[in-house]
Amino acid sequence: MSSHREAPSISKDPVADNTDLYAFRTPSETVTIIANFLPSQAPNGGPNFYEFDDEVLYEIHVDNNGDALDDVTFQFRFKTVNTNPNTFLYNTGQIDTLDSQAWNRRQTYTLTRVIGDQTVQLGTNLPCPPVNIGPRSTPNYEAALASEAVKTLNTGGSTTTVFAGQRADPFFVDLGSIFDLGTLRPFQDLHLLATAAADGVDALAQSNVHTIAIQVPIASLTKSGQVPIDVMDPGATIGIYASASRQRNLQIKNGRRQSVGPWEQVSRLGNPLFNEVLVPLARKDEWNATKPVNDASFARYVLQPELAKLLPVLYPNNVFPNLAQLTADRADLAAILLTGIPTGVVPGFQNYTGQVQADLLRLNVAVPASTGSQSPFGLLGGDLDGYPNGRRLADDVTTIELRAVAGVTYQLVMPDYAPDGAATLIEDGTRDNPGRTLLGRFPYVGTPYSGYDVGS
Amino acid sequence: MDISRRGLLGGGAALAGVGAVTALTQGGASVLAAPLTAAELEALDIPVILSVTDAKRGTLEVLIGEQAVEFTDRSLVAKLARVARKEAV
Q: B64 and A260 in contact by Cβ < 8 A?
A: yes
Q: A251 and B64 in contact by Cβ < 8 A?
A: no
Cα–Cα separations (whole angstroms), residue A250 to A87, A257, A260, A346, B8: 28, 7, 6, 49, 16
Contact B50, B12 (CB under 8 A): yes
| A381-A360-A378 Cα angle (round to 5) | 10
Residue pLDDT, tens place only, A410-456: 999 999 999 999 999 999 999 987 667 899 999 999 999 999 998 65
Please list every residue in chain B whose beta carbon sits closer than 8 Å to the beta carbon of residue A264. none
Mutate to test the interface with A, among B48, B49, B51, B62 (most CBs of A within 10 A): B49
Residue A259 phi, psi dihedral angles, 5° rounding: -105, 140
Residue A290 parent element (H or E): none
Average pLDDT, chain A: 96
Q: What is the DSSP letter of B49?
A: E
Q: A261 and B48 in contact by Cβ < 8 A?
A: no
* Side-chain-side CA neighbours of residue A211 (13 Å): 31
Q: Which of A253, A258, A262 sits opposite B67 (nearest CB)?
A: A262
Residue pLDDT, tens place only, A183-210: 999 999 999 999 999 999 999 999 999 9
- Spatial separation of the C-alpha atoms in residues A47 and A227, rounded to whole Å: 47
Q: Is the pLDDT of residue B86 over 90?
A: no
pLDDT at B11: 38
- Find the range with the poorest average confidence among A207-221, A403-417, B29-43, B57-71: B29-43
ipTM over 0.90: no
CB atoms within 10 A of CB A347: 7
Q: Is the pLDDT of residue A153 over 60?
A: yes
pLDDT at A111: 98
Q: Which residues pair with A364 in a beta bridge?
A: A237
Which residues of B lie inside 8 Å of A (Cβ-Cβ)? Answer: 10, 46-49, 51, 63-68
Contact A330, A303 (CB under 8 A): yes
Residue pLDDT, tens place only, A116-149: 999 999 999 999 999 999 999 999 999 999 999 9
Q: A261 and B10 in contact by Cβ < 8 A?
A: no
Please list every residue in chain A whose beta carbon sits closer than 8 Å to the beta carbon of residue B48. 260
Please list every residue in chain B whose beta carbon sits closer than 8 Å to the beta carbon of residue A251. 10, 47, 49
Q: What is the mean pLDDT of residues A335-343?
A: 98
Confidence of residue A4 (pLDDT cuts 50, 70, 90): confident
Please list every residue in chain B whose beta carbon sits closer than 8 Å to the beta carbon of residue A119. none
Q: Is A247 an 8 Å CB contact of chain B?
A: yes
Q: Is A254 an 8 Å CB contact of chain B?
A: no
Q: Which of A258, A262, A263 sits opposite B47 (nearest CB)?
A: A258
How many helices (H) and strands (E) in chain A? 8, 12
Q: B63 and A263 in contact by Cβ < 8 A?
A: no
Q: Is the pLDDT of residue A362 over 80?
A: yes
Q: Based on C-alpha coordinates, what's the Rg of chain A?
A: 22
Residue of chain B minimizing CA distance to A57: B66
Residue pLDDT, tens place only, A259-318: 999 999 999 999 999 999 999 999 999 999 999 999 999 999 999 999 999 999 999 999
E strand map for B1-89: 48-54, 59-64, 67-72
Mutate to test the interface with B, among A260, A263, A264, A265 (most CBs of B within 10 A): A260
